[in-house]
Structures are given as structure tokens and as C-alpha cells.
Amino acid sequence: MPELKTIALFFVTAIAEILGCYLPYLWLREDKSVWLLIPGALSLMAFAWLLSLHPTAAGRVYAAYGGVYIFVAIMWLWAVDGIRPTTWDLVGSSVALLGMAIIMFGPRGA
């Protein structure tokens, strides 16, 4: 099932990006250890590498990935920051996921 593999890869990619941004945020805003920059940088390198694994044109991947990123960011808000998403957060992220599915899996002209 290539569709499931693509979606799973999008989710792993989003987590790598969010973690790569969240760790420096902790250092800058929450007065955490400067050593968080090392795993943060590694996570962002993994993010860039993971994006290269997607099997379609880069522009299409970036556009579709944005929808998954929105959903994962809302789930991060809940799981890590402890802030329960609103109904509108969930509706908006669901619309973004639908957009991702249309972009990635919609029919293509010959």
C-alpha cells in the first residue's frame, strides 16, 4: 500500500520538523539547556532527508506535507503542550488532511 507508506512518511517527517523547532524554542523561550540545540539540529537534518524520500515532485510533496504538518502540530499542542484542541482546530486540521489526500492521491492527467 504505497498510500499508507506515503502518509506514514509524512507523519514522521512532520514530527522531525516540529521536534527540530521545538527544542531550540525550549532553549530560547523556556531557559532550557543549550545542549538541546544538538538534537534539534539533528532532527532538522532528518526532516530534510525524510522530505527527499517522497516519490513525487518536490513542489507537490511540500504542498501536501503542509496539510499533514498542520494536523501533527495540533496533535503536538495537545500531547506535548497539554492544550486541548478546539473543535475549530480539529475541523481545520481535518480539512488540511483532506487537502493533502487530494493533492497526493488525486488522478493525474497523462
Q: pLDDT tens-digit profile of 45-102?
A: 999 999 888 777 677 888 888 999 999 999 999 999 999 999 999 999 999 999 988 9
pTM: predicted TM-score of the whole model, two decimal places: 0.83
Of the candidates 76, 98, 87, the one whose C-alpha atom is nearest the C-alpha of residue 7 is 98
User: Would you state the torsion angle of the CA atoms of residues 12, 18, 21, 22, taken in this order, to the nearest 10 degrees?
Assistant: -120
Q: Is 58 helix (H, G, I), strand (E, B) or coil?
A: helix
Torsion over CA: 69, 74, 78, 81 (sign): positive
Tell me which residue has cell 481545520: 92
pLDDT, residue 65, reads 86
- The span from the CA of 21 to the CA of 15, in Å, is 10
pLDDT band at 18 (very low <50, low <70, confident <90, very high): very high
Amino acid letter, residue 80: V
